[in-house]
Amino acid sequence: MSISVSVDTSKLNELLSKVPGNKQKAVRSAAYYILGESQKSNAYKNRTGYLRGSGRVNEAYGDFVNVEYGAEYAGYVEMGTRKMGARPFLKPAVEKGESRLIQLLKEGLFK
């Protein structure tokens, strides 16, 4: 079970069209920030490094930029199971990345 997070800007296109810079640049920057923050997490034991190393940013979706973890057990670590408590590493990074994206957009709007 892999896990991914999408940053969807389709509803913000009208606002983002006013940004003089490239909106995808801001979204891409926020996605890489989220990836970096999630990889720094100590929420789970990093015995082999496989989970941490399976993270990537996928830009192949148009208005979407996905932060994806390909490790088959990533979703179980993030959300837990009935036998193991959740050890979220991606959700806290997304919460940090949200403020980063807002900051980048403000910089673009008020240049």
Instruction: Indicate the SS3 state at residue 88.
Output: coil
Give the Cβ contact number of residue 5 at 10 Å.
Answer: 19
Residue 20 has pLDDT above 60, yes or no: no
Write down the pLDDT at residue 34: 93
In the predicted model, what is the mean pLDDT of the chain?
82
Tokens of 91: 């959700």
H helical segments located in 11-89: 13-16, 23-40, 50-53, 74-79
The per-residue pLDDT for range 42-72, each reduced to its tens digit, is 888 888 999 999 999 998 776 678 899 999 9
Q: What is the pTM of this model?
A: 0.76
Distances (CA, A) of 35 to 60, 79, 90, 91, 110: 16, 17, 8, 11, 27
